[in-house]
Chain A
Amino acid sequence: MKLILSTSNIMQGGRPSVIRQPLTQKSNVELITSLRSNFLAHQHIEPTNGSQANGNGVSNGHTNGSHSTKDHRNWTGEQNGALYIPAIDFSQPGLAEERSQYDITVKLFYLPGIPASRRCAHTREAIDLVLKELHVESIDLLIVSFPGILFDADDDSDEEDATATGEPDDFDSMVQTWRTLESLHEQGMIAQLGVAEFGSERLARFLPHTKVKPSVDQINLKDCCVVPKSLILYAKQEKIQLLTHNDCNDILPVGMTRELLGPTDKGAGILASAPEANDGIQGDVEPQWVVKYTAVVKDRGVVENKGYFALADVGTCVKSRP
């Protein structure tokens, strides 16, 4: 089974967790805390008499106002074999103004240890969710983050961090993935493509294999005034914009996913507490990808909508590795 985790719009609605973390460090705190607070907000809904009256029959015998927040079926939704955590009403308008007013940037994190062969499907899946959430037909910029690449401003050689991921992401699979993105670009679904954490050497190796060049290279900088000169020059020459970010490389580890969804106090009570318990979904959980979307009103620089989706496979659905 697929689990689709979502934060909804994290800019609005009083989510102090968004800010109260050390912001200068790259981190996945924003993702984790906003997921958690979105789950919590939904668990605390007391269904009103009015809204329960039209008989959707999900209260499972609980009386109104006293149903257990433990039963996740009260606040999650199932559709086409995927469990939405929390349930999402895609009929809600995504953006306040018309499409042309916005710059929509999407960053897709392919996660470590997930076979590159799935990326084609994953990309479609992630983009579709974002388009559906924002009620738009295209996005302006898609940045993809490949696992295991660490940008190091000190020596301008992006490293492949083999220890963290078990296996380095190989170059061919990146090129392969890029083909998928190029086809989405051709279909008009994505206006511009971008990569993350590429040093100048990797860019130079990568560009000849692309039909649609990346127009953005997003790098994380501890001190953003120390960018290797070679990268600046190369990016300028190739007309690639260097943008900054502060995202975590391993944005959603398996352990964290378990904790988020598990039966403990910190968890959402989706997963079973023990292999033989029937208080939740059984089986292994494996996060597949995370996508972040941001809609900024162009002429005013206002971030109107920002959120995350994450997809995890659970139980018998966890695909065996090829």
Chain B
Amino acid sequence: MGLLALGTPLEWPEAKKRAQQVREWGIEQLLANWRRARGKERDVLLWGDEVEYLVVSLDDAAKKARLSLAQAEILKSLARDEALWQAGSSENDANGEHAGEDPPHFHPEFGRFMLEATPGSPWGIGFKDLLKVESNMKWRREVAKAHMAPNESPITLTTFPRLGTKDDYIQPYYPPSGPALRSQFVPDEIANPHIRFPTLAANIRSRRGRKVELNVPIFKDQNTPSPFKDPTVNYDLHLWPEDDDVRNGAVKDDHVYMDAMAFGMGSCCLQITFQAKNMTEGRRLYDQLSPLGPILLALTAATPIYKGFLVDTDVRWNQISGAVDDRTPEELGEAPLKNDRWRIPKSRYASNSTYISEDPRLRKEYLDPDLVVDHDIKKRLMDGGMDDLLATHFAHLFIRDPLVIFSEDLEELDLSKGDHFENLQSTNWQHMRFKPPPSDKDDIGWRVEFRSMEIQITDFENAAFSIFIVLITRAILSFDLNFYIPIQRTTENMETAHARNAVLDQKFYFRKDPFSARAPKAPAQQSSDGSTFSSTTSSAINTPPPSPPLGPVEVEYELMTISDIVNGCTDGSFPGLIPLVESYLNSVNVDVETRCFLASYLDLIRKRADGTLWTGARWIREFVAKHPSYKQDSVVSEEITYDLIKAVNEVTTKEGRNGSVGWELLRGKKN
């Protein structure tokens, strides 16, 4: 979540009137910043991970697990500690394991039951840094836990299995249905009380003209009713106008129905941000990482339960997408366009729709021909000197309205700030994000954020996936890899990744040959002495006259399994992401200890991809299925949830060692 500015937020009708002003000011801020920072060069690789937690409280007497709404108190207590740390009088790292590491940072999140933690300072590429990631994540968890009640703990499940049920799943308890969310399942108190968050939720709902609508297909077990009609829906509420939604067909048969931002934005993710050496490299990484988004989503799948039911999808993505979908019926194509400017095919939270690198390998066939852009904004950016691709990207993001506007910010345009730009940028939750340097910080460069991964139960897994992505970026840059496919295929892949057990059962579009045959930058040169030496210079080979015509785009990619993509095709066509990373590691100096650590991380990913190890989603499904009180009716009861949370706590600490619970996730064998 972005910075939490304070002020007087505008309600939607008022905010709507000022939307154009915010967009225009945002674009001017972007242009000013882009002019300032486009020439930034030689920024080093820095990267950071963001780990998000649910705060869960266990009631052993009642055998209940509940979400704790103690975020504010925990953060306050953490902040006190951080201040002590800064002053150098803390005892929190007496054992010295984290000597020299800055204390971790904790941040609020949308859910009042959530925490986010980042390393105290960003990581570098030094291999010693890579070794610190996992222990730092564990440290963050310990520090967070130390500031919670004894029966509370930070757990890294993507969603709380019984969020939105009729029981007292939150602590302290509040009954559902408040003015901001108007949900019939969750109270407003579920959200962070900072004014930004209720405003965000309320304005999304107002703009949309009804509540958000999430229908997740139910997993049909042998005793699940068919058709399944969500039994938790109340059709007789008359408190808010939006209570009509369910009477107007918002609930679909055979689906679990949810109606609030909290069901999506209350999910935990694992996000990685990289600093590129300059804008060009940032744009290249943005493009090349984009096709990996759905692949990593399927690999990290961990979300099989919503509102107390097993569902037929494995990941959180579309639920978040639906939970912040502010599109009007006109924009959705349900009503003829009258007041709105265009139909918009995707939610603000969705897979990305643009490629932005000025890369000769980027063919126009890869771009989305139906991309919606604001042409006035694009023209303004190009008049301001920005190139077509980047102007298109931002003119696409800026088709949206700003959702939270503080009236104090509308008094004067400050070109040295980026607040209006960030207003739109940070509420475009695409799976890749291209981040300009902050206007007010000279020491930060162009960055790219990789946002699709699901949080994993253990820090070992979270470190493994974070480091894997970092190594992939190094392999992309070193081997000049080319993963381009038409961007609509990535959109389709994102859908494919939702299927139950997609990691093993589904195939994804992926580029067959990642190696580029592109000419080097240096032009061919002849030496003047006329010796044999000059007859054929080494560069001349790379400028074969004339370049072979490009084949049809469709032959460049095919459907592959995740195992093919990660481990390589057995027929030798696609080399595999892990072999690419290993080939990279073989080209740099890595010490024995580091390589051993890295091997264990890469091994996890390799085995997730080939099915030797289970995804979190599969493990949770099996846990429920095998639970003695499960009735094969898709219902995940309070008792099962309690036991599941206890098991998750155990996996987090024992990591499946010696046949302990969760070995299927992490070890693949009991001993």
Specify whether A and B are partners: yes
Considering residues B124, B513, B541, which has the most beta carbons from chain A within 10 angstroms of its beta carbon?
B541
Q: Are the C-beta atoms of B587 and A294 separated by less than 8 Å?
A: yes
**Would you call B44 an interface residue if the criterion is a C-beta within 8 Å of the partner chain's C-beta atoms?**
yes
Q: Are the C-beta atoms of B595 and A224 separated by less than 8 Å?
A: yes
- Of A50-58, A159-167, A271-279, which binds chain B? A50-58
Of B42, B44, B541, which is within 8 A of A44 by CB?
Answer: B541
A76 contact set on B, CB distance < 8 A: 532
Of B124, B125, B474, B532, which is within 8 A of A77 by CB?
Answer: B532
CB distance from B424 to the nearest CB of A (A): 30
Q: Are the C-beta atoms of B534 and A89 separated by less than 8 Å?
A: yes
**Would you call B339 an interface residue if the criterion is a C-beta within 8 Å of the partner chain's C-beta atoms?**
no
CB distance from B530 to the nearest CB of A (A): 5
Considering residues B474, B535, B586, which has the most beta carbons from chain A within 10 angstroms of its beta carbon?
B535
**Would you call A225 an interface residue if the criterion is a C-beta within 8 Å of the partner chain's C-beta atoms?**
yes
Q: Are the C-beta atoms of A302 and B478 separated by less than 8 Å?
A: yes
A41 contact set on B, CB distance < 8 A: 541-542
B interface, size bucket: 35 or more
Q: Are the C-beta atoms of B277 and A46 separated by less than 8 Å?
A: no
**Would you call B411 an interface residue if the criterion is a C-beta within 8 Å of the partner chain's C-beta atoms?**
no
**Would you call B630 an interface residue if the criterion is a C-beta within 8 Å of the partner chain's C-beta atoms?**
no
Residue of B nearest to A50 (CB): B526
Task: Tell me the B112-135 residues at the A interface (CB within 8 Å).
Answer: 124-125
Of B530, B539, B587, B593, which is within 8 A of A306 by CB?
Answer: B587
Task: Tell me the B362-390 residues at the A interface (CB within 8 Å).
Answer: none
Q: Are the C-beta atoms of A16 and B590 separated by less than 8 Å?
A: no
**Would you call B538 an interface residue if the criterion is a C-beta within 8 Å of the partner chain's C-beta atoms?**
yes
A51 contact set on B, CB distance < 8 A: 524, 526, 535, 540
Interface string of B544-577 (1 = CB under 8 A from A): 1100000000000000000000001000100100
Given known contacts A11-B478, A16-B515, is B125 in contact with A54 (CB within 8 Å)? no
CB distance from A254 to the nearest CB of B (A): 25
Considering residues A73, A216, A243, which has the most beta carbons from chain B within 10 angstroms of its beta carbon?
A243
Q: Are the C-beta atoms of A15 and B515 separated by less than 8 Å?
A: yes
Q: Are the C-beta atoms of B599 and A56 separated by less than 8 Å?
A: no
Q: Are the C-beta atoms of A47 and B588 separated by less than 8 Å?
A: no
Q: Are the C-beta atoms of B532 and A304 separated by less than 8 Å?
A: no
Task: Tell me the A25-75 residues at the B interface (CB within 8 Å).
Answer: 41-42, 44-48, 51-52, 54-58, 73-75
Task: Tell me the B586-634 residues at the A interface (CB within 8 Å).
Answer: 586-593, 595-596, 599-600
CB distance from B237 to the nearest CB of A (A): 57
A84 to B535 CA separation, bound complex (whole angstroms): 13
Given known contacts A20-B575, A51-B524, A54-B530, is B537 in contact with A89 (CB within 8 Å)? yes
B582 contact set on A, CB distance < 8 A: 23-24
A72 to B250 CA separation, bound complex (whole angstroms): 75
**Would you call B579 an interface residue if the criterion is a C-beta within 8 Å of the partner chain's C-beta atoms?**
yes
A57 contact set on B, CB distance < 8 A: 530
A306 contact set on B, CB distance < 8 A: 587
Task: Tell me the A286-308 residues at the B interface (CB within 8 Å).
Answer: 294, 296, 299-304, 306
A76 to B534 CA separation, bound complex (whole angstroms): 10
**Would you call A156 an interface residue if the criterion is a C-beta within 8 Å of the partner chain's C-beta atoms?**
no
Given known contacts A8-B538, A91-B525, is B588 in contact with A296 (CB within 8 Å)? yes
Size of chain A's interface in residues, with CB distance under 8 A?
68
B516 contact set on A, CB distance < 8 A: 13-14
B590 contact set on A, CB distance < 8 A: 243-244
CB distance from A118 to the nearest CB of B (A): 26
**Would you call A1 an interface residue if the criterion is a C-beta within 8 Å of the partner chain's C-beta atoms?**
no
**Would you call A105 an interface residue if the criterion is a C-beta within 8 Å of the partner chain's C-beta atoms?**
yes
A52 to B537 CA separation, bound complex (whole angstroms): 12
B517 contact set on A, CB distance < 8 A: 13-14
Q: Are the C-beta atoms of A77 and B580 separated by less than 8 Å?
A: no
Q: Are the C-beta atoms of B536 and A74 separated by less than 8 Å?
A: yes
Q: Are the C-beta atoms of A303 and B478 separated by less than 8 Å?
A: yes
**Would you call B643 an interface residue if the criterion is a C-beta within 8 Å of the partner chain's C-beta atoms?**
no
Q: Are the C-beta atoms of B535 and A47 separated by less than 8 Å?
A: yes
**Would you call B522 an interface residue if the criterion is a C-beta within 8 Å of the partner chain's C-beta atoms?**
yes
**Would you call B45 an interface residue if the criterion is a C-beta within 8 Å of the partner chain's C-beta atoms?**
yes
Given known contacts A19-B579, A224-B599, is B532 in contact with A56 (CB within 8 Å)? yes
Of A48, A243, A300, which is within 8 A of B477 by CB?
Answer: A300
CB distance from A153 to the nearest CB of B (A): 10
CB distance from B358 to the nearest CB of A (A): 17
Of B532, B579, B587, which is within 8 A of A303 by CB?
Answer: B587
**Would you call A87 an interface residue if the criterion is a C-beta within 8 Å of the partner chain's C-beta atoms?**
yes
Residue of B nearest to A9 (CB): B520
A19 to B124 CA separation, bound complex (whole angstroms): 26
Of A23, A24, A55, A89, which is within 8 A of B527 by CB?
Answer: A89
Considering residues A41, A52, A77, which has the most beta carbons from chain B within 10 angstroms of its beta carbon?
A77
CB distance from A24 to the nearest CB of B (A): 7
B533 contact set on A, CB distance < 8 A: 77-79, 84, 87-89
**Would you call B174 an interface residue if the criterion is a C-beta within 8 Å of the partner chain's C-beta atoms?**
no
**Would you call B480 an interface residue if the criterion is a C-beta within 8 Å of the partner chain's C-beta atoms?**
yes
A36 to B272 CA separation, bound complex (whole angstroms): 39
A-B contact count (CB 8 A): 172
**Would you call B584 an interface residue if the criterion is a C-beta within 8 Å of the partner chain's C-beta atoms?**
yes
**Would you call A246 an interface residue if the criterion is a C-beta within 8 Å of the partner chain's C-beta atoms?**
yes
Of B518, B535, B588, which is within 8 A of A294 by CB?
Answer: B588
A51 to B537 CA separation, bound complex (whole angstroms): 10
A18 contact set on B, CB distance < 8 A: 479, 583
Interface string of B41-69 (1 = CB under 8 A from A): 01011000000000000000000000000
CB distance from B513 to the nearest CB of A (A): 7
A16 contact set on B, CB distance < 8 A: 513, 515, 575
A188 to B290 CA separation, bound complex (whole angstroms): 45
CB distance from A95 to the nearest CB of B (A): 12
**Would you call A86 an interface residue if the criterion is a C-beta within 8 Å of the partner chain's C-beta atoms?**
yes
**Would you call B531 an interface residue if the criterion is a C-beta within 8 Å of the partner chain's C-beta atoms?**
yes
Q: Are the C-beta atoms of B583 and A299 separated by less than 8 Å?
A: no
Q: Are the C-beta atoms of B589 and A227 separated by less than 8 Å?
A: no
CB distance from B58 to the nearest CB of A (A): 36
A241 contact set on B, CB distance < 8 A: 591
A86 to B533 CA separation, bound complex (whole angstroms): 10
**Would you call A103 an interface residue if the criterion is a C-beta within 8 Å of the partner chain's C-beta atoms?**
yes
A243 contact set on B, CB distance < 8 A: 589-592
CB distance from A243 to the nearest CB of B (A): 5
A302 contact set on B, CB distance < 8 A: 474, 477-478
Of A23, A52, A86, A221, which is within 8 A of B583 by CB?
Answer: A23
CB distance from B10 to the nearest CB of A (A): 43
B568 contact set on A, CB distance < 8 A: 20
Given known contacts A11-B478, A24-B582, A224-B596, is B537 in contact with A141 (CB within 8 Å)? no
A219 contact set on B, CB distance < 8 A: 592
Q: Are the C-beta atoms of B125 and A301 separated by less than 8 Å?
A: yes
Q: Are the C-beta atoms of A244 and B591 separated by less than 8 Å?
A: yes
A225 contact set on B, CB distance < 8 A: 596, 599-600
Given known contacts A12-B480, A221-B592, A242-B592, is B536 in contact with A47 (CB within 8 Å)? yes
Q: Are the C-beta atoms of A300 and B44 separated by less than 8 Å?
A: yes
Given contacts A76-B532, A77-B535, A89-B527, 7 further A-B contacts (CB under 8 A): A42-B541, A58-B535, A77-B536, A87-B532, A221-B595, A232-B592, A302-B474
27 A-B pairs whose Cβ atoms sit less than 8 Å apart in the complex: A11-B479, A13-B542, A14-B516, A18-B583, A19-B579, A20-B568, A20-B575, A23-B583, A46-B544, A48-B545, A56-B532, A87-B535, A87-B536, A88-B533, A88-B538, A89-B533, A89-B534, A91-B525, A103-B589, A224-B595, A224-B596, A225-B600, A227-B596, A243-B592, A296-B589, A301-B588, A302-B474
Residues on A facing B (Cβ under 8 Å): 8, 11-16, 18-20, 23-24, 41-42, 44-48, 51-52, 54-58, 73-79, 84, 86-89, 91-93, 97, 101, 103, 105, 141, 216, 219, 221, 224-225, 227, 232, 241-246, 294, 296, 299-304, 306
Residues on B facing A (Cβ under 8 Å): 42, 44-45, 124-125, 277, 474, 477-480, 513, 515-518, 520, 522, 524-527, 530-542, 544-545, 568, 572, 575, 579-580, 582-584, 586-593, 595-596, 599-600
Closest 7 CB pairs of A and B: A301-B125, A299-B44, A89-B537, A14-B517, A303-B478, A77-B533, A225-B596
